[in-house]
Amino acid sequence: MSAGPFPVRLGTTLAPGQSEPVTVALDKSLPAGPWHARIDLQSGLVKRAAEGTITFPTKAGTSAAPVKAHNIPLTKNRHFLVPLALLLLLLLAIGIFLLLWKRRKREEEEEEQLEQATSAL
C-alpha cells in the first residue's frame, strides 16, 4: 500500500548548511502502521531524501514521538543516478567519437604526405 504525495510545512527559511524539521500533514484515513516512509524534498537545485518507520497514534487527541529519519545517500537515489549515468555515457560517446575522428584525420594526413612524397619522385 502506498500514499501521497503530501504537502510539507517548513517553519523557517534556511541558510546554506542549516537543517530544520519538517511537518507532513497526513490523511486521517491512513491505517496506524507501522509504515516505511520515504520523503523526498527539493528546494531549487538542492535535493534530499530520507526514510524511516512511522506508526500513528491509535487514540484521538494524542501524538506520536518525532521520527528520526535516516538520510538516503545520493548513490541510492535513482533520480540522481539515472541522469548521472546518461551524462557519463554521453561523455564516453563524445570521447570515442573525438578519438576516432582524430585518428582518421591523422591517417588522411599521412596518406596525403605519402602521395606528395610519391609524386615528387
The pLDDT of residue 1 is above 70: no
- pLDDT, tens only, 53-74: 888 777 777 777 777 777 777 6
Per residue, the 3-state secondary structure of the chain, as one string, reads CCCCCCCEEECCCCCCCCCCCEEECCCCCCCCCCEEEEEEEEECCEEEEEEEEECCCCCCCCCCCCCCCEECCHHHCHHHHHHHHHHHHHHHHHHHHHHHHHHHHHHHHHHHHHHHHHHHC
pLDDT confidence of residue 85: 86
